[in-house]
């Protein structure tokens, strides 16, 4: 059923975005802090804090109180998959003719709802254009 799949996607969606952001921060700044994540997402720090707690007990990240965030292996893996999807969808939308801003905005939502089959088609399209 289509709707069930969408609901399942929504369950992991926020997790995927968090992990992608954390990976990016670790890459660029060397560390990922709650304040940066909150700013990135445009949400209150308290909200980011709560989600980070969930990500920790779900085994995606590790952190000590008042310290910065690290990805577990499980976290790294999901971050990597998410990043790949993000790039494919973003590139696809740009090749479709959209400006960077629109492509980025739409990709951020679409990336969580594309099956592997669709990703393959997008990659094919990306190579041809």
Binding site for a second copy (CB under 8 A): 1-6, 9-10, 17, 40-43, 93, 96-99, 102, 104-110, 112-115, 117-118, 121-122, 124-125
CA 103 to chain centre: 15
Tokens of 67: 């310290």
Nearest to 12 by CA among 42, 69, 55: 55
CB of 26 to Mn ion, least distance (A): 15
Q: Is 28 exposed, middle or buried (0-12, 13-18, 19+ CB in 10 A)?
A: exposed
CB of 70 to a second copy, least distance (A): 22
Rounded to an integer, what distance in angstroms lies between the CA atom of residue 57 and that of residue 4? 25
Show the binding pattern over residues 46-85: x = contacts DNA (CB under 7 A), - = does not.
xx-xxxxxx---x----x-xxxx-----------------
Q: Which is nearer to DNA, 41 or 98 (CB)?
A: 41
What count of other Cβ atoms lies within 10 Å of the Cβ of residue 111?
23
Near DNA in 14-53, by CB under 7 A: 14-15, 33-36, 41-47, 49-53
By a kind-dependent CB cut-off of 5 to 8 A, residue 25 interacts, out of DNA, Mn ion, a second copy, none, with none
């Amino acid at each position: 059923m289509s709707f069930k799949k969408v609901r399942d996607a929504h369950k992991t969606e926020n997790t995927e975005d968090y992990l992608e952001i954390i990976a990016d921060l670790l890459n660029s700044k060397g560390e990922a802090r709650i304040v940066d994540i909150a700013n990135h997402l445009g949400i209150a720090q308290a909200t980011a804090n709560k989600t980070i707690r969930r990500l920790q007990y779900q085994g995606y990240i590790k952190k000590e109180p008042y310290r910065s965030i690290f990805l577990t292996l499980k976290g790294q893996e999901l971050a990597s998959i998410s990043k790949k999807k993000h790039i494919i969808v973003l590139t696809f939308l740009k090749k479709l003719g959209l400006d960077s801003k629109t492509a980025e905005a739409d990709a951020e939502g679409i990336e969580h709802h594309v099956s592997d089959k669709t990703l393959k088609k997008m990659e094919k399209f990306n190579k041809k254009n």
